[in-house]
Structure 1
Amino acid sequence: MDNSIRLLALRLFARVASTGSFAEAARYFDLPASSVSRHIAGLERTLGQRLLYRHTRAVRLTDAGERYYQDIRRVLDSLDLATEQVTGGAKQPQGLLRINAPVAFGRRHIAPLLARFQDANPAVEVELALSDAFIDPVHEGADVVIRVGALDDSSLVARQLATQRFVACAAPEYLSRHGEPRHPEELKTHNCLVYKGTRGVQPWYFRNYDDAPAKRYPVKGNLHSNNAESLVEAALQGQGIVLFPTWLLFDALREEALVPILKNHEALGEATREGIHVIYPENRLRSSKVATFLEHLFARIGDPPYWDG
């Protein structure tokens, strides 16, 4: 296997490893799926190791494949960065920009700003993946990861994009039928629509607008969901009360389709105020496409963020 063929095989393997799909790798590189399979099989023969388990509906890495993928992905990233800088990428952003964001936040606040970004940077191709599960950008090969809420300790670079502000609210129809709670203690007599995600049920915290510690209040209702937008829709229909960040509720609040309640208390989704962060490996900032996207992102979101403006 000569060097040019080996490099193609490495790129094909990395794509299959990251997507779990020969078909997606074939589409991305504009090759027949049989050619992708042949190149990777040749790579396995050269290495004397099986890298992938091939099943009818799925492809997954072997233990050797997982180790090999982690090593070669860093090498390929460094090669792409060097190529970008030598070919003028430092002045003209170009290449594939891989972004990962939570589903609702990405759909509402990341996807809408990509058109203007790509109009200004036509040589940049964007791959936007939306997932509520935390991903390690180094492991997954993402350039930029956006995460909402508390961050685990990490060697990755994290910049706060915005502070996250929560609001408890309900439709005027619900409040006219059931009355408006005047204190968080009264929520136990109301139908609260509660988010239940990968970390379990989201707690509802409130505190007075001072330095008092936040207190968790028990809530219950007839609808739980792992999709926040579904709960907001139920609230819009007058089904109950929701507690969510303003980046999710700002349209409904602006149109007064949902009305804030308990305005003499600060609502929180955690015991402490959390933020929205942009996470990336440190070396990604040397890439002009990443640096340019971050500049665009922070400028468009604003400070304070436009949904709190």
Structure 2
Amino acid sequence: MSNSVTLIALRLFVRVATSGSFAEAARHFGLPASSVSRRIAGLEKALGQRLLYRHTRAVRLTEVGEGYLQQVREVLENLDMASEQVSGAASHPQGLLRVNAPVAFGRLHVAPLLASFQARYPDIEVELTLTDAFVDPVQEGADVVIRIGALEDSSLVARELATQRFVACAAPGYLATYGEPQSPDELPAHNCLVYKGTRGLQPWYFRAASNTPFRVVKVRGNLRSNNAESLVEASLQGQGIVLFPTWLLQQYLKAGRLLPVLDDWEAAGEPTLQGIHAIYPENRLRSSKVSAFLEHLDQSRITH
């Protein structure tokens, strides 16, 4: 490594590249924005290559910068883990842990665990990002990503936290007024509140026995949303029937504010059962802070 290419310059480059913002990198490292810009300009000069395109509202990587980012990030991660081993952090987890989770799941099941986790490991700082967008932990530099549904990243390690179980339910007032469906075939006659995300309307699937395939039931209603909690709130107000995972509905089911329907049928939001996983790059498992967090998730039984 050239003497003019400093570690802080590399860390600043990674932060700017992943956040797309010099100002965000400056805030993160507690530096003036001018200092960040100057250090990265120095890095580019030392390399003899342009790494970033600078625009008024955004910053993006050049082709050279994209390749350099992957290599630099891996070097920094390996350096941090080596330092962790030497400093004794392997037996005393410490440092910054970056966790990403879907919005509703993170709010309900990950955020409530952080106080006890950090009380147990006071030297670990947590950066929790909640988003329903697809997150690549390698690209985003996340240590652990909670992902719900099918997994396609063969290069990543996945630990299943739970199998996702769906339930159709409605408020007592709705069922008292409109009756309870006795089979999925009766759902089209009901007001079904349907989630509509980036892939369109979420289908509703049912099967009578676990050894039979799921079949889709076409439902409709007077409210659709890309926010699951908004639909749950409408159902609580007696507006209609919803189909969602039990991890989203459990508090209302337990309190009797929502009542399950079609108990004799197994429900799903996909044609096959899906799981809830913690995924991470393989090298992250060597980090004691990641291992500690995964152990805490297992012990806390975050889903029901």
Could you state the TM-score of these two structures normalised by the residue count of structure 2?
Answer: 0.96
C-alpha displacement of 1:264: 1.0
Partner in structure 2 of residue 19 of structure 1: 19
Tell me which moved more, 271-280 or 128-137: 128-137
Between the aligned partners of 2:122 and 2:21, the Cα distance in structure 1 is 27
| Residue in 2 that maps onto 1:62 | 62
Map 1:117-156; keep pairs closer than 5 Å.
117-156=117-156
Structure 2: how far apart are the matches of 1:4 and 1:275? 47
Residue 3 of structure 2 corresponds to residue 3 of structure 1:
yes
Point out the more displaced range, 133-142 or 94-103. 133-142
The Cα of 1:178 is off from its aligned counterpart by: 1.4
Asked if 1:195 is matched to 2:202, the reply is no
| Paired position in structure 2 for 1:168 | 168
Query: In the alignment, is the contact (CA less than 8 A) between 1:204 and 1:216 conserved in 2?
Result: yes
**1:85-234 alignment to 2 at 5 Å?**
85-234=85-234
Once the two structures are superposed, residues 105-162 of structure 1 have per-residue CA deviations (whole angstroms, 9 ceiling, x without a partner) of 0111001101111111111111111121222211211111110111115121111100
Distance across 1 between alignment mates of 2:150 and 2:7? 39
Question: What per-residue deviation string (whole Å, max 9, x for no partner) do you get for residues 224-243 of structure 1?
Answer: 11111111111111111100
Question: What is the alpha-carbon distance in structure 2 between the residues aligned to residue 57 and residue 233 of structure 1?
Answer: 37
Partner residue, 1:298: 298
| Higher mean displacement: 146-155 or 234-243 | 146-155
Q: 2:5 and 2:123 mapped to 1: Cα distance?
A: 25
TM-score of the aligned structures, taking structure 1 as reference length: 0.95
RMSD: 1.4
Partners of 1:195 and 1:224 within 8 A in 2: yes
- CA change 1:21–1:153 in 2 (3 A) is closer
Q: Secondary structure at the match of 2:38?
A: helix
Structure 1: unaligned runs, 5 residues or longer: none
Instruction: Check conservation: 2:118, 2:124, Cα contact below 8 A.
Output: yes
Superposition deviation, residue 4 in structure 1: 7.5
1:184 touches 1:262 (CA, 8 Å); kept in 2?
A: yes
Equivalent residues of 1:162, 1:275 under 8 A apart: yes
How far does residue 57 in structure 1 lie from its aligned partner after superposition?
2.2
For residues 139 and 130 of structure 1, the distance between their equivalents in structure 2, rounded to whole angstroms, comes to: 16
Stretches of structure 2 lacking an aligned partner (at least 5 in a row)? none
Residue type at the aligned position of 1:220: R
Counterpart CA distance in 1 for 2:227 and 2:45 is: 45
